[in-house]
């Protein structure tokens, strides 16, 4: 039996991401049954804007430690065969996937430095073979907007059609005139302390607005869970250039399963999945 452990930073991902991704991949790997454990949830590490060269934050260090624990010790003394940390990019770090990856590498190295040499070498080998760090952009709810049926399950009623400025949901932004007045108010308030805030680019708040317009109170642990589990990932990208952050995650999982990417050929975020020509012996993780 081979066991996959996701480490996530949100309630929706804890409840549904493993079951959603499971549908895209085989139930066996190299003749062994593959079990997707219920994800472990920790605090988000990207809720503030990360700065290149700064020390990793406490939440980032906690994610790194959780990865080490899962691959080195594991639940009930059984280490996982694949550990994937998945965090959101969030609005403050849009376009900063490389800086986020830099912070996570720094967090992992800081944790490794606390080990004796022999243990450090053992963990470095485990990390390169069995551990990855990935992102969803700007957050999980964005991908629901790539599947009309998922939006209906999430509570968006017929007639409440989303208005987005881009086909690529990872470039999420709405120009919905019914929503823009609220965005203007939120921007005026939030930008006093967080200059990078653009409410029009927040998929979860827009999803909540759309459901409320149709008389539905969106519950992440109900509507969101069912929508994510049933999401048709293959239809989310509308072109080869769309969703490079998601493609990197699925390319990494596909590589582990020895199958082709369920999204087909397309652009990958280079900060989250290196070129095949890169010497992977020099990486800290499978993908970083």
Instruction: Give yes or no for residue 278 having a pLDDT over 80.
Output: no
Nearest CA to 45 out of 107, 98, 124 is that of 107
In terms of pTM, does the model score above 0.85?
A: yes
Give the pLDDT confidence of 237-251 residue by residue, as tens digits. Answer: 999 999 999 999 999
Collect all residues with Cβ–Cβ distance below 8 Å to 253 and sequence separation of at least 6. Answer: 21, 24, 25, 84
Q: Residues 212-225: pLDDT tens digits? A: 999 999 999 999 99
Q: Between the CA of residue 116 and those of 20, 74, 107, what are the distances in Å?
A: 39, 20, 17
Q: Is the pLDDT of residue 38 over 80?
A: yes
At a CB cut-off of 8 Å and minimum separation 6, what does 141 contact? 12, 203, 204, 207, 224
Among 77-86, 267-276, 278-287, the minimum mean pLDDT is found in 278-287
Is the Cβ–Cβ distance between 136 and 203 less than 8 Å? no
Output the CA–CA distances (angstroms, integers) from residue 182 to 101, 175, 177, 186, 187, in the order listed: 33, 12, 10, 6, 9
Cα–Cα distance, 145 to 203 (Å, whole number): 8
Q: Given pLDDT bands bounded at 50, 70 and 90, which one contains residue 277?
A: low
Go through the domains of the chain in sequence order and give each one's CATH number: 2-137+243-282 (3.40.50), 142-219 (no CATH)
- Mean of pLDDT over the chain: 96
How far is Cα 183 from Cα 205, in angstroms, rounded to an integer? 10
Give the model's confidence band at 1: pLDDT under 50 very low, under 70 low, under 90 confident, else very high.
very high
The answer to whether the CB of 26 falls within 8 A of the CB of 256 is: no
Does residue 64 carry a pLDDT above 90? yes
Is the sign of the CA dihedral 23, 28, 29, 33 positive or negative? positive
Does 141 score more than 90 pLDDT? yes
Cβ contact 205:199 at 8 Å:
yes
For the stretch 164-218, pLDDT in tens is 999 999 999 999 999 999 999 999 999 999 999 999 999 999 999 999 999 999 9
């Amino acid at each position: 039996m081979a066991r996959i452990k996701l480490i996530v930073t949100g309630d929706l991902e804890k409840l549904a991401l493993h079951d959603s991704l499971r549908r895209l991949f085989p139930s066996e790997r190299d003749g062994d049954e593959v079990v997707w454990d219920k994800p472990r949830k920790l605090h988000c590490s990207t809720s503030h804007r990360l700065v290149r060269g700064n020390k990793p934050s406490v939440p980032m260090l906690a994610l790194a430690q959780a990865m080490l624990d899962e691959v080195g010790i594991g639940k009930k003394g059984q280490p996982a065969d694949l550990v994937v940390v998945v965090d959101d990019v969030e609005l403050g770090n849009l376009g900063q996937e490389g800086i986020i990856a830099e912070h996570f590498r720094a967090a992992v190295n800081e944790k490794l430095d606390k080990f004796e040499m022999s243990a450090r070498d053992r963990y470095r080998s485990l990390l390169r073979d069995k551990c990855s760090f990935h992102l969803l952009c700007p957050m999980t709810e964005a991908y629901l907007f790539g599947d009309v049926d998922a939006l209906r399950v999430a509570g968006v009623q017929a007639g409440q059609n989303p208005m987005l400025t881009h086909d690529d949901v990872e470039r999420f932004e709405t120009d919905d005139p019914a929503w823009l007045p609220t965005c203007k108010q939120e921007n005026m308030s939030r930008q006093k302390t967080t200059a990078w805030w653009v409410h029009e680019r927040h998929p979860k708040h827009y999803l909540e607005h759309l459901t409320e317009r149709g008389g539905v109170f969106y519950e992440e642990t109900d509507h969101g869970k069912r929508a994510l589990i049933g999401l048709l990932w293959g239809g989310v990208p509308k072109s080869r250039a769309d969703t490079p952050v998601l493609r990197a995650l699925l390319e990494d999982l596909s590589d582990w399963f020895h199958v082709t990417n369920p999204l087909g050929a397309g652009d990958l975020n280079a900060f989250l999945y290196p070129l095949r020509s890169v010497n992977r012996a020099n990486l800290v993780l499978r993908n970083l």
